[in-house]
Amino acid sequence: MNTTPSSSGRNPYLVPFALVCSLFFLWGIANSLNGSLIRHFQFALDLKRWQAGIVDSAFYFGYFVMAIPAGIFMRKWGYKRGILAGLLLYAGGALLFYPAADVRVYAFFLFALFAIASGLAFLETAANLYVTVLGDAKEAEWRINFAQSFNGISIILGPIIGSLFIFSKKEYNASTLAMMTPEQIQAARVEEALSVQGPYLAIAIIVAAVAVLFALTKMPEIGKAEEAAEGNVSIFSLPGRYRHLALGILAQFANVGAQATLWGYFVDFKMDFAANDHIGVALGYADFINKLVGDAENMTPERIAGFHASFALVLFMLGRFLGTWLMSRYEARKVLQWYSVAAVGLVVLAFATGGTTAILCIMLTYFCQSIMFPTIFALATKGLPPAEGKLASSLVIMAIVGGAVMPPIAGLLSGAGGMKMALLVPLLCFSFVVYYVTNGYRVKQQVL
């Protein structure tokens, strides 16, 4: 990272940059756990597939509601206080899972997820923009992809946590339930609901500890003088003034919508396309993880599917590391163009084939998605003055609501023609990302 050193020869941005990178790690865990919850709640709370998909809706709707307040808060109070507010909301939402599991009320869980997402809206609005300004502007795209690599590492943990600590070691399918009494089924649902308490309590404690570290660390405020000189800025006028921002918001909406659909329904895709046929490398990965934790027994098809999802996130991490390396040699937009075209091709192939081939294609889309969010963010906010940049950041983060809109649509489509039809959603979304990185990214200040 190329930054200007202080008079003492030390890089004044090094420690703040390292701390901010930890935020990318933290919100990756919350995001990647949603897929496990969607599958888990279908039995634990007796929900239909489309109802369980509202997990993503509540989560991403939190981004939609809180992104603009986060941007306004950050402009008034600065990056550090915005980050602290986000961490406190995140920890509080994770703590709410404990009483929600006790009462087994779906709306309570959804409120807890909304609170977590509200905190993440603050964190992502602050951190994604902060890393782009902590150093040379020419390296902004590289820097945000590097920071997002820590997110790529942490999201692997979500499906692992789901498979080891949330998913049951028993398989509750139609034949199993037919042999159980109503009382036994109810007791099993209660036990399943309570399994989320431990993981989310641990997350709350870790997030609170990170908040303490931020509170004790001096964080430089970049661009304060320039913001004061700019005066008042109308946040809602920005998309009309900057074409690349307006289209970037739509591209981020599409990208997150595709990601939430594929990640949230991955276990359902696996169970629908190839419940008992497994990809060898993913199965070996599952065996390796289980041996590490001493839990190699009771590998139900559902738990194996969870490990396939976790291995797909390993591909996501590798895709981000490779993408970050490629961006040090090629234009960031070009690299994203290659990745997004490949994603479209993989979804088409998955739709046309089915079976384990389709699952492999879906897993490879994770690799292609890896650099989409940070690169779209950097392209959409590129060339904006400091004050407008903070507010534009909140608009791009608000576009994460695509993750609330698209999964229920995919769930409804799956009801009409199986999970194969649900693939139409990410196909449409990835196609728009291709358009954006091919044409819509150009920085132009104009009225649309």
Query: From CA 351, how far away is CA 317, in angstroms rounded?
Result: 24
Helices (H), 301-385: 301-327, 332-353, 355-369, 372-380
Q: Distance of CA 31 to CAs 50, 256, 416, Å?
A: 19, 11, 27
Predicted pLDDT at 2 = 44
Token pair recorded at residue 30: 């919350």
Sorted by where each begins, the domain ranges of the chain are: 14-440
Of 429, 111, 379, residue with least CA distance to 263: 429
Predicted pLDDT at 170 = 65
pLDDT, one tens digit for every residue, the chain (448 residues): 444 444 444 566 777 888 888 888 888 888 778 777 877 788 788 787 778 878 877 887 888 888 888 888 887 888 888 899 999 999 999 999 999 989 989 899 999 999 999 999 898 888 877 887 776 667 777 788 788 778 777 777 776 777 676 765 566 666 676 778 888 888 888 888 888 888 899 999 999 999 999 998 887 776 565 555 555 667 778 888 888 899 999 999 999 999 989 988 888 899 889 888 888 888 888 777 777 665 555 677 777 887 888 889 889 989 988 998 898 888 888 999 999 999 999 999 999 998 999 999 999 999 999 999 989 988 998 878 766 777 888 889 888 888 888 988 898 898 887 899 999 999 999 999 999 999 877 766 554 4
pTM of the model: 0.74
Q: Distance of CA 117 to CAs 323, 404, 421, Å?
A: 27, 11, 28
Predicted pLDDT at 404 = 80
Query: From CA 253, how far away is CA 271, in angstroms rounded?
Result: 27
Predicted pLDDT at 8 = 47
Predicted pLDDT at 446 = 52
Predicted pLDDT at 192 = 80
CATH among 1.10.40.50, 3.30.365.10, 1.20.1250.20, 3.40.50.300 for 14-440: 1.20.1250.20
Predicted pLDDT at 297 = 57
Spell out the residues 6+ positions from residue 253 whose beta carbon is closer than 8 angstroms to its own: 399, 400, 401, 402, 405
Query: From CA 128, how far away is CA 126, in angstroms rounded?
Result: 6
Q: Where are any strands of DSSP class E within 291-436?
A: none
Predicted pLDDT at 448 = 41
Predicted pLDDT at 381 = 85
Token pair recorded at residue 161: 């946590």
